[in-house]
Amino acid sequence: MNIPQQLRYSKEHEWLSGAEDGVSTVGITEFAANALGDVVYAQLPEVGSTVTAGDTCGELESTKSVSDLYSPVTGEVTEINEDVVNDPSLVNSAPFEGGWLFKVRVTDEPADLLSADEYTAHTAG
């Protein structure tokens, strides 16, 4: 299972990149993508909207189920991944790369985001 060291993670299986010019990228982990199965529809938050840490901001639909997408941080959405909207299978094939979901200008982040090692332990449970 791939869990990149440089990212931080939420217990709901989202990943968060380090900030570039105050903007971080969000996606779901390989663990989450595998649990979902083939993703067929991605409803992402709107550019310009505010997402709140721990709240739902969209949904990911797979063959078998619908899962809420939670934001790992609070902030303003600056960009969404149109490639994923058009081809949701990117979430399965490249969850940490081409399957990223949205970018957010972070104004607040919860204290309980996990390091890669902590997330590894979290998913092993």
Give the residues lining the site for another protein (CB under 8 A): 34, 37-38, 40-41, 61, 63-64, 66, 89, 92
Least Cα distance to 10 among 78, 109, 125 occurs for 109
Minimum CB separation from another protein for residue 15, in Å? 21
Minimum CB separation from another protein for residue 120, in Å? 19
How distant, in Å, are the alpha carbons of 31, 49, 73 from that of 57?
Answer: 20, 9, 11
Nearer to another protein by C-beta: 61 or 118? 61
Residue 53, Ramachandran bin (φ over 0: left; ψ between -120 and 50: alpha; else beta): beta
Nearer to another protein by C-beta: 34 or 49? 34
Minimum CB separation from another protein for residue 40, in Å? 4
